[in-house]
Amino acid sequence: MPKTMLHRYSASPTAFPVLASLYPPLLGSGIRIRHIAPDWTSGELTMRVAPWTANTNGTAFGGALFAATDVLYGALLSGQLGGGYQVWTKSATIDFHRPGRGRLTCRVEVPATEADMIRDQLSEQRSTSVVHTALIVDSREKAVVEARHTMSVRRRN
């Protein structure tokens, strides 16, 4: 499979926010990665709802909200585990709590202990699944979206 510039530089917590924010599906949805911790344990993104990123009701488009919940956990976990592992979304559910307006934020944390636990599991088995919940909040810190992702994690050959 061809690797894009995003794939090649995604191992850098400094380069990842810039490159991911330029990735067309995120860029077009108004999603910007604002911060990735140097040790890949936390990250934050924002999404600005603008006329060209809104649905017919003038609120955040559901597909863009889902994309915003899907980006950080996998990137943070991949960054901590390193290139010998593959992380991807296996399944997900999303609950829309209120219409998204203005600037929305998603903060994700992946403690090093969680990555260590997954690494330990994968020393005994080829793959595992991890469930993660992502929350998007509005400027008043009110929940807009809650998404539960089941992530598949496996060792690469």
CATH of the domain at 120: 3.10.129.10
d(CA 33, CA 44): 6
Q: Are 153 and 118 in contact (CB under 8 A)?
A: yes
**CA dist., res. 22 & res. 6, Å (int):** 9
pLDDT digits (tens, 9 = 90+) for 24-81: 999 999 999 999 999 999 999 999 999 988 999 999 999 999 999 999 999 999 999 9
Domain that holds residue 85: 5-155
Q: What is the pTM of this model?
A: 0.89
How many domains does the chain fold into?
Answer: 1
Res. 2 pLDDT band, cuts 50 70 90 = very low
